[in-house]
Amino acid sequence: MPLDAFSDQTMSRRAMKAELLDAETELRLAYAWRDQRDEQALHRLITAYMRLAISMAAKFRRYGAPMNDLIQEASLGLMKAADKFDPDRGVRFSTYAVWWIKASIQDYVMRNWSMVRTGSTSSQKALFFNMRRVQAKLEREAEARGETLDGHQLRHMIATEVGVPLADVEMMEGRLSGTDFSLNATQSSDEEGREWIDALEDEAAQAAEQVEGAHDAECLRGWLISAIQGLNPRERFIVTERKLRDAPRTLESLGEELGLSKERVRQLEAAAFTKMRRSLETQSREVHHFL
């Protein structure tokens, strides 16, 4: 039965009733799962430590995530721990599972904190979960010394305390200072009731840019037509078939139609392009001279 079929209170009660495993039983179950893929042993191991997962999930409720979701993430971390646990290392499963459970919950919290990705590096994760605590500690210590820290000093001290770059501290401070807002929310200061989305800059080309673009395109089109008209009929035919068709023809097919070799068609094509390039350069110079 899926976890979301129970309330967090129900899951907590069920977890509290689960058996407590001694070290020998825990080791036997771990070997049974690793070596024989015994699913009953895995289920028993996970069930016994669900109370640990629920306890750790409860510590993250202050981040605003539903408790059921936190428990599900903790359960996923517990299952990953069971799958990767190596009983030969001589470490208790509960000690090993704590890291996986915590990592799974932290990843979930950070993914759902904001629509904008909060961070994925180890330093950003450390800041997200410790910045407010470290900031409060530093402020208390400064107050006890009779000092007052400005924002710049405090950010530098946080970076040193947590062991992360100052840029990460500045970024995370901005992320933690507010929440997401809908672009369709009404601006409170606007009597006309405009939405915030109406204040975004239109990235499309403005009227003047559209006129300039259309003029330049028409000018270039005229230059190309003039350059093509400067070719002899055979060169014009080759350029048209090679570059102006939806499905360009091959040198070989053109050679067969014109009674020429493939190499001769290539030479005529290159000569035609040279003529066109000179024509375009001449027309461009004339326009710049006029301007």
pLDDT 10s digits, 74-122? 999 999 999 999 999 989 999 999 999 998 998 888 777 654 455 556 7
Give the integer Cα–Cα distance in Å for 126 and 110.
Answer: 11
Cα–chain center distance at 291: 48
Q: What is the DSSP letter of 267?
A: H
pLDDT of residue 2: 46
Question: Which residues contact residue 148 at a Cβ distance below 8 angstroms, ignoring those fewer than 6 apart?
Answer: 142
Amino acid identity of residue 53, one-letter, is A
Of residues 55, 159, 41, the one with CA closest to residue 105: 55
User: What is the CA 82 to chain-centroid distance, rounded?
Assistant: 29
Q: Of 266, 233, 132, 114, nearest to 175 (Cα)?
A: 114
Cβ neighbors of 10 (< 8 A, separation 6 or more) are: none
Query: 184 phi and psi, to 5 degrees?
Result: -90, 0
The backbone torsions φ and ψ at residue 204, rounded to the nearest 5 degrees and listed phi first, read: -70, 160
Helical pair 151-162 and 166-176, crossing angle rounded to 10 deg:
110
From CA 195, how far away is CA 253, in angstroms rounded?
61
Beta carbons within 8 Å of 233's beta carbon, 6+ residues apart: none
Q: Which residues does 70 contact at the CB level (< 8 Å), separation at least 6?
A: 57, 58, 60, 61, 105, 108, 109
Task: Please state, in angstroms and rounded to a whole number, the distance separating the CA atoms of residues 123 and 113.
Answer: 17
pLDDT along the chain (291 residues), means of 10: 52 74 92 92 92 91 85 93 92 92 87 58 71 83 85 85 82 64 56 60 67 81 87 91 88 91 92 90 70 49
Task: State the SS3 of 245-263.
Answer: CCCCCCHHHHHHHHCCCHH
Q: What is the pLDDT of residue 27?
A: 92
- Measured over the CA atoms of residue 159, residue 160, residue 164 and residue 165, the dihedral's sign is positive
Instruction: Kindly report the pTM of this predicted structure.
Output: 0.48
Sequence-distant (6+) residues with CB within 8 A of 121 are 168
What is the structure's pLDDT at 116?
47
Cα–Cα distance between 40 and 29 in angstroms, integer? 9
Q: How far apart are CA 85 and CA 30, in angstroms?
A: 8
Here the tokens at position 176 are: 């933690």
Contacts of 19 (CB under 8 A, 6+ apart): 44, 47, 48
On whether the CB atoms of residues 133 and 198 are closer than 8 A, the answer is: no
CA dist 97 and 263 (Å) reads: 71
Looking at residue 75, its pLDDT comes to 93
- Predicted confidence at residue 178, as pLDDT, reads 54
Total residues belonging to the chain:
291
| Cα distance between residue 8 and residue 15, in whole Å | 10
